[in-house]
A and B are shown apart, each in its own frame.
Chain A
Amino acid sequence: MHPFAYVAPGTVDEAVAVLDKHGDRARPLAGGTDLLVKARANAWELDAVVDIKNIPELMTLTVGNDGLTIGAGVPCYQVYENEEVASDYPCIVDGTAIIGGIQIQSRAGLGGNLCNAAPSADGICPLIVHSAVAHIAGPGGSRDVAVEDFCTGPSQTVLKNGELLVSISMPRPPSNFGAAYTRFIPRNEMDIAVAGVGVSVILDSSGQNFVSARIALASVGPTPILASAAGNSLAGKPINDDTIAAAAALATDASTPITDMRGTIAQRKQLINVLTGRMINQAVERARG
């Protein structure tokens, strides 16, 4: 591991200044569960790590009428153990509760999961279907990026040198909203998704028709994928096997998986088809309460 300096600033401005100074030879340290693995493997040669856990806005989770805001350094357990999050954002819990095991969840969080930009990330599809936005600070000021636009390739994001993810926020779900995420892995836990699907739906007041839907796919492309055509196909349609199967087929079309040691193209396409149907049904169940 290349020797690096340890910097623990107390403000966003100080963190940005250090990141800006070192360019791509500095990285923010939140849970460290990806950073220290990559540094140790010499995938990253770093001169400095910037521990962001002393910066209040990066370590704060707020949930209320304005929606849910999760600081970029908030670990998974603080998300899924929050009763309001569990009650109003169960899809966010679906993702955070299956990232690694308990030891990893003590440290790793959604901010790091997003910045690590793994196509298989279990935390990102739930954010996408909740229409979450990433709040970024940088030397030139702040900007917001929709989570579905944040990842640009495996381990690649829109973050420029000197930029820091501060928090992720999403609107409070409207009435008749439901969302769910699942993945397929060969074990019960502690594994990387062969394929994953997140779905959110808004139903009309009768609970029999879709008003709108968002469908996001993991591990079947270079980034998590917002399958817009699949989600849009449900808008205004009745909830039945045919409309759900048609959306699942469109989600399958939107996937561009590869064959690797975890699964084949055919298996992953089949998984997207099956999991999309299941998650639409589960999102509908949650929307109906």
Chain B
Amino acid sequence: MTTSSPGMVHVKTTINGQAHELLVPPYMSLLDTLRELIGLTGTKEGCLDGNCGACTVSVDGRIVDSCLVLGAEVDGKDVDTVEGMASADGLHPLQQAFLEEAALQCGICTPGFLVAAKGLLDNEPSPSEGRIRHWLAGNLCRCTGYDKIIRAVQKASS
């Protein structure tokens, strides 16, 4: 049984393919763990209650709101963030499409949209517009009106 009281939780996790071993306060969110302990600040804090999706990351291939996950919970899990999307060869097709379609303005929601959209296209390479809109309902954008985001995801799909 893993127990922490009141000290830190020992967590071994893989983030963007890289092994990490760290001590996490038991009440610290995965969002804060990524930003404050690992220094991966691409994942953004928005509403902190699971409505906006700005903090979306992937855990074992499923997208989650990292503000509603504890860092302690990702022991033994694979976490993927926006920082892991681009490769040495260049931007991920979704990132390139977001640039070309001007699918962002202030940009705070963008990492969450990118990770969420990747979660869709990794499993469904050619989703319908309706499917894309439904999948991204958990991500809010207050600037673009969504159409440009949807067009970018369509462009990046095969």
A residues whose Cβ falls under 8 Å from a Cβ of B: 1-10, 14, 29, 31-33, 36-37, 39-40, 48-49, 51, 53-54, 77, 100-104, 106-107, 188-190
Segment of B66-74, B85-93, B98-106, B141-149 in the binding face? B66-74
When distances are taken between beta carbons in the complex, the residues of chain A under 8 Å from B27 are: 1-4, 6, 39
Q: Is the CB of A5 within 8 A of B4?
A: yes
- Docked CA distance A30–B135 (Å): 22
B49 within 8 A of A: yes
Question: Of all chain B residues, which has the CB nearest A36?
Answer: B68
CB distance from B149 to the nearest CB of A (A): 15
Q: Is the CB of B1 within 8 A of A29?
A: no
B42 within 8 A of A: no
Across the interface, B70 reaches (CB within 8 A) one of A3, A32, A37, A100, namely A32
CB distance from B127 to the nearest CB of A (A): 12
Chain B's interface: helix, strand, loop or mixed, by majority?
mixed
Q: Is the CB of A5 within 8 A of B138?
A: no
* Known A-B contacts A101-B53, A102-B119, A190-B137; A107 and B1 likewise in contact (beta carbons under 8 Å): no
Across the interface, B26 reaches (CB within 8 A) one of A4, A40, A107, namely A4
CB distance from B37 to the nearest CB of A (A): 15
When distances are taken between beta carbons in the complex, the residues of chain B under 8 Å from A190 are: 51, 137-138
When distances are taken between beta carbons in the complex, the residues of chain A under 8 Å from B3 are: 5-8
B97 within 8 A of A: no
CB distance from B17 to the nearest CB of A (A): 20
CB distance from B114 to the nearest CB of A (A): 14
Q: Is the CB of A100 within 8 A of B1?
A: no
When distances are taken between beta carbons in the complex, the residues of chain B under 8 Å from A54 are: 2
When distances are taken between beta carbons in the complex, the residues of chain A under 8 Å from B73 are: 29, 32, 51, 53
Question: Of all chain B residues, which has the CB nearest A10?
Answer: B1
- Docked CA distance A189–B133 (Å): 10
Q: Is the CB of A9 within 8 A of B135?
A: no
Question: Of all chain B residues, which has the CB nearest A77?
Answer: B62
- Docked CA distance A101–B64 (Å): 10
- Docked CA distance A2–B6 (Å): 12
Across the interface, B65 reaches (CB within 8 A) one of A7, A8, A104, namely A104
**11 A-B Cβ contacts within 8 A?**
A3-B26, A5-B4, A6-B2, A6-B4, A7-B2, A49-B70, A51-B73, A102-B138, A107-B64, A107-B69, A189-B137
In chain B, positions 102-138 with a C-beta closer than 8 Å to chain A are 116, 119, 134-135, 137-138
